[in-house]
Amino acid sequence: QIQLVESGGGSVQSGGSLTLSCTVSESNNRRACMGWFRQTPGKEREGVASIDRRSGSTSVFDSVKGRFTISQNNAKNIVYLQMNSLKPEDTAMYFCAATSTTLNNLCPRYPASYHDWGQGTQVTVSS
């Protein structure tokens, strides 16, 4: 059983920064991969970044590359999303998710591969 709780969302002006946290509570079977996703009304959920919790290997996807960073604190079972140089188009509900699935030893990018989700935290960027 796993529980994911996101925090850190809020409102910020364009160019600002926010750090999202995802606190992971697991009774057993530690999930290999964690991902951050975002979604706006009427649009599909899109991948933002992923991290392999075993190796610490990370992937940041094109739309936020160079601005967002994913990291983890293994001792505290927290996964972070550091978001810099925020733009109005980054406005979305942000979710963290976990999966035991890997693809060629890489964490998957697409939401369908993730089976456990948090409730989300809203990020609003104003121009």
Per-residue model confidence as pLDDT tens digits over 57-94: 999 998 899 999 999 998 889 999 999 999 999 999 99
Task: Centre a 10 Å sphere on the Cβ of residue 28 and count the other Cβ atoms it contains.
Answer: 6
Instruction: Compute the distance between CA of residue 55 and CA of residue 127 in angstroms, rounded to an integer.
Output: 38
Report CA 20 to chain centroid distance, whole Å.
8
Q: Taking the mean position of all CA atoms in its chain, how far away is CA 42? A: 20
Is pLDDT above 90 for 107? yes
Residue 52 in this model has a pLDDT that exceeds 90:
yes
Q: Is the pLDDT of residue 32 over 90?
A: no
Q: pLDDT value at position 28?
A: 67
Q: How many Cα atoms occupy the beta-carbon half-sphere of 98 within 13 Å?
A: 23
